Amino acid sequence: MRVARFPAGLAHWVYDVALASGRALVVRIGGALARPMFAAAARLSGELRPLGVPLPELLAAGDADGRPYLILERLPGTDLRFVYRELARAEKDALAERVADAQARVARLPEGRGFGYAAHPDGPFSQGSWTDVIRASLARSRGRVAAVRAPGIAAMPRLERAVERLALGLDAVRPTPFLDDTTTKNVIVDRGALSGIVDVDWLCYGDPLLPIALTRASLLSEELDTDYVDAWCRHARPDAAASPLLRLYTAVFCADFLSEAGQAFNRDRPHAIGDDHAHRLAAILDDQLAGL
């Protein structure tokens, strides 16, 4: 048997396990406080897989030595981010169509009774409006960015003013359920095609443009083309590419990325962002705010 820890991930300990039989598994382990989240992941697997959402099969769930765990099938392939440069435009389009379809299937579930991240449409929810979800994200980023004096700190007041200018549109958002983290990670690609979606511990209730913007911010920050995001917009909502909210959310995520500097999360050492990357994120943030 071979066991290796995945290098990615901010909240849990995730291991790639190859059994002597040749079967490949993923073992996810959380801290004691993550027990409700792991229970939600197991429940969502049972709800979403029958809808046709391509999640890995859940093989076992339980608790060992005070820590919750999940054992899942290991999907063939790797995160989109690691193969993006190798994909043809047609492959990116096909991937985007599959992910847009998965999100549409999730949207068939009941709307939330509040907004933001929750394991169940009944909540609990920390926010009563989508505008407040975005404000809360900015407040967290502002605190972190200020603590490390990241380059984007000068843009934070402009970003906050942009949120208030667009508050009418934000307030009109319905609490639609969607997968919040189908970005350049958690979307598993095998030989140019979608293998499945992983790490679904909760849903977000609000604007399904949010993960599109998160993916856009990720691609721009790595100086990659946005063909995949453009295709996702076409398949999910043709007007999305021109939406000021897409630009706003992209800027919000740039601030969030900048705020990760100096945070350890579940790593042994604090997360580091190189100066060039930080200044690139700050420049993207400024560009997205232009005209908002």
Amino acid 21: pLDDT: 87
Structure-block tokens of residue 100? 């847009």
For the domain made up of 2-73, the CATH class stated in words is alpha beta
pLDDT above 70 covers what percent of the chain? 91
Structure-block tokens of residue 146? 């200020």
Q: Which amino acid type is present at position 173?
A: V
Q: Which amino acid type is present at position 3?
A: V
The residues spanned by each domain of the chain are 2-73, 78-289
**Which of 10, 5, 1 lies closest to 26 in space, CA to CA?**
5
Q: Please state whether 138 falls in left (phi above 0), alpha (psi between -120 and 50) or beta.
A: alpha
**CB 208, CB 178: distance < 8 Å:** yes
**Which of 8, 163, 179, 192 lies closest to 90 in space, CA to CA?**
192
**CB 263, CB 144: distance < 8 Å:** yes
Amino acid 152: pLDDT: 66
Separation of alpha carbons 25 and 4, rounded Å: 11
User: Mean per-residue pLDDT for 150-155?
Assistant: 72
Separation of alpha carbons 35 and 29, rounded Å: 10
Q: Is the pLDDT of residue 267 over 60?
A: no
Separation of alpha carbons 28 and 5, rounded Å: 10
- Whether the model pTM is above 0.85: yes
Give the angle 70-253-180 at the CA atoms, nearest 5°. 35
CATH number of 78-289: 3.90.1200.10
**CB 282, CB 155: distance < 8 Å:** yes
Task: Quickly state the pLDDT bin for 266 (edges 50, 70, 90).
Answer: very low
Separation of alpha carbons 233 and 35, rounded Å: 35
- Output phi, psi for 32, to 5 deg: -60, -35
Q: How many residues does the chain have?
A: 292
